[in-house]
Amino acid sequence: MGGGRPLTLKLTLSLSLITCFLLSSSYGQNCAKHSFPNNRVFKTCSDLPVLNSFLHFNYDTSSSKLEIAYRHSGIGSSRWVAWAINPTSTGMVGSQALVAYQQTNGTMRVYTSPITQYQTQLQEGELSFNVSDLSASYENDEIIIFATLGLSNNGTMLNQVWQEGGLNGNIPQMHVTSGANVQSMGTLNLVSGEAGTSNGGGSKLKKRNIHGVLNTVSWGILMPMGAIIARYLKVFKSADPAWFYLHVLCQFSAYVVGVAGWGTGLKLGSESVGIQFDAHRTIGIILFSLGTLQVFALLVRPKPEHKYRLYWNIYHHLVGYTVIILSVINIFKGFDILEPEKKWKHAYIGVIVALASSAVLLEAYTWFVAIRRKRSESEGKLPYGGVNGGEGNGVYGHGVRTQQA
Ligand SMILES: *[C@@H]1O[C@H](CO)[C@@H](O)[C@H](O)[C@H]1NC(C)=O
Ligand SMILES: *[C@@H]1O[C@H](CO)[C@@H](O)[C@H](O)[C@H]1NC(C)=O
Ligand SMILES: *[C@@H]1O[C@H](CO)[C@@H](O)[C@H](O)[C@H]1NC(C)=O
């Protein structure tokens, strides 16, 4: 092939690029450039992955004393910030938090708050470890919390959680429960300063992504495609009865994948006690019910000649279109909750637009065919009515079938 050399070269290049990237992301920390007033120096620092946050600290292994400065940049004056250690688990509940915000009269309030449940107003309270030298500052849209924590000697890995939210007067309000605000947790290595994703946060994010992908593909792409196949493939003579099996195959696989996605959603819901996405959840449950109805409706569908078949068709189409509309709505609600990178939402919008425009084009083409056949029918006095007993319905169905007979 002679392509060996360039390929090796490319591989080496990309490997070194990746290495450079990894090195720069773990060692070229932005936080290292920060200097604190009064020549305060922190030996170790870590750029936290979300919410414009940085943790600077000195850790004394012999006394287990942890001296920290938590910086939260780009924060408005009527917002609170918090940084916490969770000695018992990985999430928010059980966190031992340091909270700071600017009060309406301009002075800073900084205090400790143990978090026992999701519905918290961040009330002041004692933490499970000693906290001293607690102070906070607000300058240039940045809040810094300073503190010294007396940790019991529990090893060098900690679970950390950080957060920000709005204030009502001087009262902290619930933080946003989506996007970066639910990813702001992870591990902290007290020796290396490395901030990792804790299993809790990481696997939850993974589960959410799986849930999103399964549901977008099934309810959001396969189902509308199946509907398009049913409605428009019928027009092509050669596609009968293939369109029917394609439609059933498409919708049935969409349903199976969709139920899997729905299951992951229920699991996620049961795991995030206290955080509820009511509309998303309700629409999800309605979708599952309607989808199941559609599958069973197939089994009780009357024969094409049956006098009730018309009503069955109307019912089947009504439920089908409702499912598609609700699915698209719920997928966008999901995007708002998960807040993935913009490109995913854009890609999905692209798919929806492509599906919708092909539906419009096919609709126009179908009418064109139907009208032309009607005309040739009335001229040629062809017998009216379908013979092959497909799933025909609607204005053009019969006309198309007639030609086929
Ligand atoms: C150390 O571990 C004990 C028991 O596992 C726990 O109760 C305590 O809160 C931990 N302390 C810190 C600072 O993590
Ligand atoms: C600012 O308001 C807080 C809470 O209302 C109060 O405790 C504090 O004394 C006030 N400080 C000044 C300087 O007015
Ligand atoms: C907290 O500090 C006090 C006084 O400095 C000390 O007596 C106490 O043992 C400390 N508690 C813990 C849990 O380290």
* Contact in structure between 394 and 317 (CB atoms under 8 Å): no
C-alpha distances (whole Å) from 341 to each of 111, 185, 344, 349, 352 are: 35, 19, 6, 13, 18
Query: Per the annotation, does 316 bind a ligand?
Result: yes
Task: Give residues with Cβ within 8 angstroms of 1, minimum separation 6.
Answer: none
What's the confidence (pLDDT) of residue 45?
Answer: 87
Q: Whose CA is nearest to atom 10 of ligand 3?
A: 130
The two three-digit tokens of residue 375, written as one number: 């005309």
* Contact in structure between 44 and 175 (CB atoms under 8 Å): no
Q: Which domain holds residue 49?
A: 34-197
Render 49-85 in DSSP notation, one character per residue. SSTTEEEEEEEETTTTEEEEEEEE-S--TTEEEEEEE
Query: Per the annotation, does 317 bind a ligand?
Result: no
Residues in the chain: 405
Residues 227 and 368 in one domain: yes
Assess if residue 388 is contained within a domain.
no
What string of pLDDT tens digits covers the 405 residues of the chain? 444 444 444 544 444 444 334 433 444 567 888 888 888 888 888 888 889 999 999 988 888 899 999 999 999 989 999 999 998 888 888 899 999 999 999 999 999 999 988 778 899 999 999 999 999 999 999 999 999 999 886 677 888 999 999 999 999 998 888 788 888 888 888 877 777 765 445 566 778 888 999 999 999 999 999 999 888 887 777 878 888 899 999 999 999 999 999 998 888 877 765 566 778 889 999 999 999 999 888 888 888 888 888 899 899 999 999 999 999 999 998 888 777 778 888 999 999 999 999 999 999 988 888 888 888 877 765 444 443 434 444 433 333 333 332
What's the confidence (pLDDT) of residue 13?
Answer: 42
The CA dihedral of 256, 258, 263, 265, to the nearest 10 degrees, is 170
Q: Which ligand is nearest to the CA of 131?
A: 3
Assess if residue 1 is contained within a domain.
no
Assess if residue 191 is contained within a domain.
yes
Assess if residue 393 is contained within a domain.
no
Residues 212 and 327 in one domain: yes
Assess if residue 72 is contained within a domain.
yes
Query: Per the annotation, does 211 bind a ligand?
Result: yes
Residue 200 Cβ contacting ligand 1 at under 6 Å: no
Assess if residue 403 is contained within a domain.
no
Assess if residue 397 is contained within a domain.
no
Residues 193 and 237 in one domain: no
Query: Per the annotation, does 280 bind a ligand?
Result: yes
Q: Which ligand is nearest to the CA of 171?
A: 2
User: How much is the pTM?
Assistant: 0.57
What's the confidence (pLDDT) of residue 339?
Answer: 72
Q: What's the CATH number where 40 sits?
A: 2.60.40.1210
Residue 132 Cβ contacting ligand 3 at under 6 Å: no
Give the Cα separation of 170 and 181 in Å (integer): 21
Out of 57, 60, 89, 152, mutate this one to test ligand 1's pocket (max ligand atoms within 8 Å of CB): namely 152
For the CA of 128, the closest atom of ligand 3 is 13
CA of 53 to the centre of ligand 1 (A): 25
What count of other Cβ atoms lies within 10 Å of the Cβ of residue 316?
Answer: 18
Residue 218 CB burial class (10 angstroms; 0-12, 13-18, ≥19) = buried
Assess if residue 395 is contained within a domain.
no
The two three-digit tokens of residue 74, written as one number: 């780009």
Q: Provide the number of structural domains found in the chain.
A: 2
Residues 175 and 55 in one domain: yes
What stretch of H or E contains 172? strand 171-172
Out of 101, 102, 107, mutate this one to test ligand 2's pocket (max ligand atoms within 8 Å of CB): namely 107
Task: Give residues with Cβ within 8 angstroms of 27, minimum separation 6.
Answer: none
Give 221's DSSP letter: I
Residues 38 and 177 in one domain: yes
